[in-house]
Structure 1
Amino acid sequence: MEKRECCIILSQVDGIGWQTVDRFMQMAEVHTHLSVADLVDLLKMLGVDEPLVARAKARAEPRALSRQVKEWEANGIHVMTRFDDEYPMLLTEIAQPPWILYCKGDRSLLGEPGVAVVGTRKPTPYGLRVTRQLVQALVERGLVITSGMANGIDGEAHRTALKTSGRTIAVLGAGIDVIYPKNHRVLYEELVSRSLVISEMPPGTPPHPGLFPRRNRIISGLAHGTLVVEAAERSGSLITADFSMEQGREVFAVPGPITVTQSQGTLKLIQQGAKCVRSVEDILEEIPFVAYDQAIQEKDETCPDLTEAEQWLLEQIAHDRPMSIDEIMGVGGTKWEFGQIHQSLLSLELKRMIASMPGGQYIRK
């Protein structure tokens, strides 16, 4: 077995969590290939309970693993692990990147720049209106909207993105095939057909309160910043904002009346240093590769103004074959830092000069 297959096997055993998989992978570092016996021995060395080891062993049987993967594929479920080239780069930067992602829809969205939009399940008319206004403006700038498909602000963010021909990612707190809340069945189906739904949990996993905080770190981890529209003083939206801060990402909050419960969380975030949002420009100016001058956007897109780094990158990237960031960095030598290369690639993509490909690769249009 490859380590990728071990990820798939261990993720399906209820009782084996992120930390155990992390320690397993550290111990498996010396192995280029693992047998079922190797997997069992490593789990026993980690002190995993015998019943869990037995379940992992049963799932590791080659025919059982192959049958399971084929069943998922038949249901439109794609399995992505941290050992796959297409695994999103932004998630590799967070404290506990998920070992596995189950996906339904357009996986290329995972590699595109975006903003997380979250909020209360019981929004005010003001909160819904602001969500529609800001999401539409973000979508028009080419940003992907990430949220949790919950009732309220989350659902409104997804729906607005879809209605305005934008792209959006829903991160579930249940299995990829479990629609929760149930009243979002139509939204779920539209997300799968036109955008993307993902989950860290194996298919069939029912929703549980403990899963939603874990889900929230992925929502913020996939985005360059998190926008909280409305939230009570204690809410899951604030957990997402906390994750965003811990991950070194931007946090944005929409102010509201001090007399309204749904404004208490966002007002608290602003007190703590979150960016107060009055218009979409307040968000864009904190995302440098998106917030280029409005005058540039209005020019002919076939010939936008380019920075020195962008011009150099455009000359390196081929029309006929994709190039990875590592390959581009190799060409660039020590001239450009990784952060500047990454920022310039995203800027060129938004200017429609290049396109991102699966596996973190780029090709010139």
Structure 2
Amino acid sequence: MLMDDLDELRAWLIALRTPGLGPGGLRERLDAVGGDIRVALAQLRRHAAPLGELAQAWLARPDEVQLAADLAWLAEPGHRLLRSTEADFPPQLENIPQPPAVLFVVGDASLLLYPQVAIVGARGASAAGLAHARAFALALADAGFAITSGMADGIDGAAHTAALDAGARTLAVVGTGADRVYPRKHHALARRIAAHGVLVSEFPPGTPARPDHFPRRNRIISGLALGTLVIEAGLRSGSLITARLAAEQGREVFALPGSIHNPLARGCHRLIRDGARLVETATEIVETLTPAARMLGGELAARLDAVGGETLGPAQAEGGADLACAHSGEWGDSEYRRLLAELGHAPTTLDELVQRTGQSAAALSAMLLMLELEARVEPLPGNRYQRLPDD
């Protein structure tokens, strides 16, 4: 790592661990200085008094042992600090209240750019509820959606496991540091997600589980997803918080009905009375969310184009198949044709496509998403892709 990069990363970590600042305060200061974290940190140090004595003490003399541990964790393979100032920070999080300033990531960060469905529900789910979670996760993954949840016991774990067993994409947003596992019984699941999906947290390494962290975690689950499906929830379930946040963020909320005699169906029934979509099949969710998935591709394209440095290519009117992307400012057909040519008909990893095309992983992920929606490309286990035969 270059010294300049190390200094910038250190500045981020100091700011993130400043007591009383929070993601909102950090983003406000970043916005004021054009996103330069070192300038923001310098101003923060000059005006730390309103944050209190703990913040002043930390900013004057940060704990070097703690910072060294953070940097060592980030230096491990597959670990990353994904910053809101980076081009591949998920655009769907920019439009939620109190968006995170960073995400600590373990695994494949490009999965954050895929259209996602959150599946949440009771920790003490019934056998039928767990079966529903597995069935919906499989069907939604087969339709091209990534499965997002919170790695909790019950419905969350069943949805993650079903996606992993099918070789599909899954994302776990946790309420601890990304180096911690909660509940402890999910150590094996966490390792599988880190190896074949992605673990995400806005909390620095070492952060333990605390009750107030999980509602904060839930806003990221619902914010990343285009829609949230609730499967079994009591009237006091944390899943209802996720559903409420999803509705406030302008996302779709789906609820699975159940028996009037099942207390774990009461939360879902309340959601339906309050306006959630009653669903019985995954097809209903896919039909509802496909237009939003196309819009997500457009938002990502606009974000990459706005930051410069990501060459998306001008629109071309050359011959060949019209890919009919549903967003304005789309990449030219020639860019898609080149990607399809480089992809060929053999399974190819995203890393191989980066090397072949010279495009960034973020740009390619967005293009592959649009090609999936047009049934031109099929995702495969291991973050691989295969071109489908032309009709």
TM-score of the pair, normalised by structure 1: 0.79
How far off its partner does 1:66 sit? 6.7
CA, structure 1 residues 345+216, in 2 after alignment: closer, same or farther (shift >3 Å)? same
Find the residue that maps to 1:74 and give its secondary structure.
coil
Percent of aligned pairs sharing the same letter? 37
Quote the Cα distance in structure 2 between the aligned partners of 1:216 and 1:30: 26
Residues 84 and 101, structure 2, Cα contact 8 Å, conserved in 1:
yes
CA, structure 1 residues 86+354, in 2 after alignment: closer, same or farther (shift >3 Å)? farther
Residue 263 (structure 1) aligns with: 265
Residue 41 (structure 1) aligns with: 46
CA, structure 1 residues 289+212, in 2 after alignment: closer, same or farther (shift >3 Å)? same
Residue 201 (structure 1) aligns with: 203
Residue 285 (structure 2) aligns with: 283
Q: Deviations over 1:74-100 (max 9, x none)?
A: 375311110112211111121211001
**Correspondent of 1:250 among 252, 265, 269:** 252
Residues 110 and 361, structure 2, Cα contact 8 Å, conserved in 1:
no
User: Number of residues paired by the alignment?
Assistant: 330
CA, structure 1 residues 352+16, in 2 after alignment: closer, same or farther (shift >3 Å)? same
Quote the Cα distance in structure 2 between the aligned partners of 1:166 and 1:30: 35
Q: What amino acid is the match of 2:53?
A: E
How far off its partner does 1:213 sit? 0.3
Asked if 1:226 corresponds to 2:228, the answer is yes
Residues 141 and 163, structure 2, Cα contact 8 Å, conserved in 1:
yes
Residue 330 (structure 1) aligns with: none
Q: What amino acid is the match of 1:53?
A: Q
**Correspondent of 1:173 among 172, 175, 183:** 175
117-126 vs 71-80, which deviates more? 71-80
Residue 141 (structure 1) aligns with: 143
**Correspondent of 2:14 among 3, 9, 13:** 9
How far off its partner does 1:235 sit? 1.4
Find the residue that maps to 1:94 and give its secondary structure.
coil
Residue 105 (structure 1) aligns with: 107
RMSD across aligned positions (CA): 3.5
Residues 27 and 42, structure 1, Cα contact 8 Å, conserved in 2:
no
How far off its partner does 1:37 sit? 4.8
Residue 332 (structure 1) aligns with: none
Quote the Cα distance in structure 2 between the aligned partners of 1:40 and 1:238: 39
How far off its partner does 1:226 sit? 0.4
Q: Deviations over 1:232-273 (max 9, x none)?
A: 112110111111111111111000001111000101111111
CA, structure 1 residues 56+306, in 2 after alignment: closer, same or farther (shift >3 Å)? same
Quote the Cα distance in structure 2 between the aligned partners of 1:109 and 1:198: 11
Residue 359 (structure 1) aligns with: none
| Pairing of 1:1-365 with structure 2 (within 5 A) | 6-29=11-34, 33-34=38-39, 37-44=42-49, 47-59=50-62, 68-74=70-76, 76-289=78-291, 306-307=323-324, 313=331, 315-317=333-335, 318-319=338-339, 320-322=357-359, 346-351=369-374, 353=376
Structure 1 runs not aligned, ≥5 long: 293-302, 328-341, 357-363
76-85 vs 309-318, which deviates more? 309-318
Residues 116 and 224, structure 2, Cα contact 8 Å, conserved in 1:
yes
CA, structure 1 residues 275+18, in 2 after alignment: closer, same or farther (shift >3 Å)? same
Q: Deviations over 1:291-310 (max 9, x none)?
A: 99xxxxxxxxxx99954758
